[in-house]
Amino acid sequence: MIYKEPWSKRHKKVTGGTPFSLSNSFAQPLKNEELITLSLDRGDEEIVEAFHKHSLEYTPNGGSLDLREEVAKLYGPDINAQNILIFSGAQVALQTAATTLLDNDCHSIVFTPGYQSVQEAPSHAGSQVTKIQLRAENGWQIDIKEVASAIRDNTKYIVINEPFNPTGTIMSHARQLELKELAQKNDIYILSDEVYRLLEHDQKDRLPAMADFYNKGLSACTLSKPWGGCGITIGWLALQDMDLKQKLIDTQYFGTACPSRASEIQAIMTLRASDIILEKNLKIIRRNLKLLDQFFINYSDLFQWVRPNGGAIGFVKFKGPLTSDQLGEQLANAGISIKPAYVFSDHVNDDNDYFRIGFGEDIMPKALEALIEFVEEHKQHWRS
């Protein structure tokens, strides 16, 4: 593996400790007290007792059966507990999948801009990689013809992220089908990073999970984004290919082989209260989106975006005289955090004017007020 610095490393140095964050990518964070209350309210005293009295012995490689059963309920009839592999977060799942499937003789296709681990995990595994640039003028959509042109004889792996981070956009059902058919024709695995799935702003836009949709598909997910369970540090892969699952377990053995039981129990609590938690988080997201809609109306000459339809994030173009890097530094000095283009690409010239904002938290309006105050202070200078 070639050493590569995290793209977000500089961002964290610049924005560390800012009082107003527009850079967080998760929905409203959960509290353990909330999970316990939700469990007791539905009469689930058993899981609360398990949390307080559980053993600290090792959990099984790939996760305990009770958690895998709960996760499997998120998928269709082809996915049950045996098709689920639990990890200590989705980031570990992405790396494990790439390491298991790929080597120096393989070729992979990824898309940029995007979350670094989604783009870089195949190259960490030694794979040859083609990065396909997504563009705002195309609604940040994957062009199937570009994917077809990028396929080589040794292409083994395509990695997508739907809903897409950093833009919050979702591909159409028809495009997902085209991508699956193309992969099927060429015997290619598709890993779909679905960490924002279930946070579609309109449920009709929800895509089938790749693990349900394609027999060589893998769905990666985590409790961090839709549920706000960041500190639970539980993620998973869902897949139909049982031979591959065993290889993933074998690879996982050399990493974080088993999650903590406390985290597993918190994950079970979260998933059993999923409807309540997701409804609450979507209410916050929709409220914050209305505030942002007005922001983009008021400052349309300075800011624009392709309006997100999934997740709690959006990719904003700054039309003023600064790059997003320069704007990010000035905002950080004013106590406001955004994520500039360099956090999502190693070719930032293509998206140099863009930055990501997050709007999944209850406190987001205060950060937006701070941003508006900053814009009001600088707008005349920017416009001139």
CATH of domain 32-272: 3.40.640.10
The reported pLDDT for the residue numbered 3 is 64
Kindly state the average pLDDT of the residues 24-48: 97
**Looking at this protein, which amino acid is placed at residue 353?**
D
CA dist 311 and 303 (Å) reads 20
**Position 353 confidence tier, pLDDT thresholds 50, 70, 90:** very high
Kindly state the average pLDDT of the residues 238-260: 93
Domain ranges of the chain: 9-31+275-378, 32-272
Q: Greater confidence, 13 or 116?
A: 116
Checking if the pLDDT of 274 tops 70, the result is yes
Q: What residues pair up with 356 in beta bridges, in sequence order? A: 315, 339
Q: Which of 38, 71, 66, 27 is nearest to 273 (CA)?
A: 38
- Name the fold adopted by 9-31+275-378: Aspartate Aminotransferase, domain 1 (3.90.1150)
CA dist 319 and 302 (Å) reads 5
- CA 75, 77, 81, 87 torsion: positive or negative? negative
Checking if the pLDDT of 31 tops 70, the result is yes
The reported pLDDT for the residue numbered 9 is 82
The reported pLDDT for the residue numbered 13 is 80
Percent of the chain clearing pLDDT 70 (strictly above): 98
**Position 154 confidence tier, pLDDT thresholds 50, 70, 90:** very high
**Looking at this protein, which amino acid is placed at residue 276?**
I
Least confident of 12-26, 48-62, 175-189, 257-271: 12-26
Q: What residues pair up with 357 in beta bridges, in sequence order? A: 314
**Please, which residues have CB within 8 angstroms of residue 96's CB and are 6 or more apart in sequence?**
87, 237, 248, 251, 252, 255
Kindly state the average pLDDT of the residues 54-69: 95
What is the tens place of the pLDDT at every residue in 305-341?
A: 999 999 999 999 999 999 999 999 999 999 999 999 9
How much is the mean pLDDT over the chain? 95
Percent of the chain clearing pLDDT 90 (strictly above): 91
Q: Which of 343, 360, 6, 295 is nearest to 166 (CA)?
A: 343
Checking if the pLDDT of 1 tops 70, the result is no
The reported pLDDT for the residue numbered 257 is 75
The reported pLDDT for the residue numbered 236 is 98
CA dist 347 and 7 (Å) reads 11
CA dist 365 and 307 (Å) reads 18
The reported pLDDT for the residue numbered 7 is 80
**Position 8 confidence tier, pLDDT thresholds 50, 70, 90:** confident
Kindly state the average pLDDT of the residues 259-265: 96
The reported pLDDT for the residue numbered 372 is 98
Kindly state the average pLDDT of the residues 204-220: 98
Q: 143 in helix, strand or coil?
A: coil
Checking if the pLDDT of 10 tops 90, the result is no
Chain centroid to Cα 272, Å, comes to 21
Kindly state the average pLDDT of the residues 103-118: 96
**Position 256 confidence tier, pLDDT thresholds 50, 70, 90:** confident
What is the tens place of the pLDDT at every residue in 225-234?
A: 999 999 999 9
